[in-house]
Amino acid sequence: MNKFIAISALMAAFVSANALAADANLTFNGAVSTGTCTMNAADATKTLVIPDVSSSSLANAGNTAFTSYSANSTISFTGCPAEVSNVVLSSASGTGTTFGGDTSRQTPASGTATGVHLVISSGPRVVDYLRPGVARSFPVSPSGTVKVPVYVGVTADITSSSAFAAPTAGNYSSSYTLTFSYS
């Protein structure tokens, strides 16, 4: 009886030593498809016009200006094959200049207004801001379609942690290129 116990204890020690032999475990998921989703051709170019706003209103709205002074649209995908479960907005690059160290904000590429910057996002909230290196996934519906929301908004330039300077009046414009992939 005692001998049996000694042997089984040794076996257990060997089993656990074996299980520890690998340092990491990997699980891979992918898919092969004969096609991807079809992007609605009419959505390939979008023109979004942000409503006019006074200089003082924009400054007073501070960081939340984006939720009020914005325009939005959707980009539609249809005919997604069963293997495609997500349409991924993998990058959004703008023609403007990165504002300070905040890669989610850009000074508009052209226009006469100064002291404003633009943000692009996949929703109406600040947390939806798009910035380089951040991908967003949009699940494909059972019918094989996806609508990706796109918002653009304007805010006054931040002068300190909480202060916003009043912009000078004028027009502004910029362009963004969105790139999608499938997963």
Partner 1 sequence: MRNSQILKSFLATALFSSALCANAADDSVVVNVSGSITTATCTIAASDVNKTINIPVSLANDLQNASKLTPVYFSFGISNCDSSKTNAVATVAAATVASDVSGYGSNSVIANTGSATNVGIGLIGATSVGATPSGPLPVGTQSAAATLTQVGGLSTTSGTLYLGAQVVPLSKAVSSGAGSVTGTATVTFTYS
**Residue 24 CA: distances (Å) to CA of 15, 20, 21:** 17, 9, 9
**Is 110 in contact with 170 (CB distance < 8 Å)?**
no
**Is 124 in contact with 61 (CB distance < 8 Å)?**
no
| 38 lies in the binding site for partner 1 (CB under 8 A) | no
| 3 lies in the binding site for partner 1 (CB under 8 A) | yes
| 13 lies in the binding site for partner 1 (CB under 8 A) | yes
One of 58, 61, 65, 84 touching partner 1 (CB under 8 A): 84
Q: Which amino acid is at 152?
A: V
| 91 lies in the binding site for partner 1 (CB under 8 A) | no
| 36 lies in the binding site for partner 1 (CB under 8 A) | yes
Identity of the residue, 28 or 160, whose beta carbon is nearer to partner 1 in the bound complex: 28
Q: Which amino acid is at 40?
A: N
3-class DSSP assignment, residue 62: helix
| Nearest distance from C-beta of residue 89 to partner 1, angstroms | 13
Site for partner 1 in 94-113 (CB under 8 A): none
Distance CA 128, CA 120 (A): 8
3-class DSSP assignment, residue 135: coil
**Count of other CB atoms within 10 angstroms of residue 153:** 23
| Nearest distance from C-beta of residue 36 to partner 1, angstroms | 7
One of 18, 21, 127, 143 touching partner 1 (CB under 8 A): 21
Site of interaction with partner 1 (CB under 8 A): 1-3, 6, 10, 13, 17, 21-36, 81, 83-84, 88, 181-183
